Amino acid sequence: MYAGVRVYVMTETSRGMEGFREWTDVFIQKGDGKPENVSRCHGSNCGHPSLSSDGKAVVYIQLRREP
């Protein structure tokens, strides 16, 4: 939690031709507002989020999806 801003990862799943896929996305939530998916990793794993000191940027690590 950063001064009223919550940054976290959440596990996402989808079902495709190859079966179920699971990955993590980075979300940010300001106060009681709606959480926003800031990573939009589209099936790749994202993690280790960190918010900048001014609260205007989020950095995270994105792992390449295996074919």
Q: Whole-angstrom Cα distance, residue 60 to residue 26? A: 8
**What was the pLDDT predicted at 67?**
55
Beta bridge partners of 21: 14
How high is the pLDDT of residue 35?
A: 94
Domain ranges of the chain: 5-62
Digits of tens for pLDDT over the chain (67 positions)? 667 888 888 888 888 888 888 888 889 898 999 999 888 887 788 888 888 878 788 888 887 766 5
Q: How far is CA 55 from CA 6, 20, 22, 37, in A?
A: 11, 35, 29, 16
| Coil, helix or strand at residue 59 | strand
* Burial of 6 per CB tally in 10 Å (0-12, 13-18, 19+): middle
For residue 20, the cross-strand partners are 15
